[in-house]
Amino acid sequence: MKMAVGIMIIGIIMFGAGLIMFYSIELGESNQVLRFIKNAGTFGGISGMGVFLAGVLLYLVGKNEPGIKEHTDVRDR
């Protein structure tokens, strides 16, 4: 359960870093290093979304929900 929350936080950080790298570089940049940073931002953002989704799924799978309790009224006759 704690691991799932940590994975979700890492996913949010990755997504935020990807957004910053992607939007800090202008669209028509011709410098190879800046284009690489923009492409790395795209990859990091999409990967961050996937990591966050994995954390959410781990959280939901790891939840301990109580089973269905059926109340039966069985009496000795």
How far is the C-alpha of 43 from the C-alpha of 50, rounded, in Å? 11
**pTM for this prediction:** 0.75
Q: What is the pLDDT of residue 12?
A: 96
pLDDT at 10 over 90: yes
Q: Is 48 exposed, middle or buried, given 0-12, 13-18 or 19+ CB atoms closer than 10 A?
A: buried
Q: Supply the mean pLDDT for the chain.
A: 88
How far is the C-alpha of 46 from the C-alpha of 14, rounded, in Å? 9
Give per-residue pLDDT as tens, 26-60.
888 788 999 999 999 999 999 999 999 999 999 99
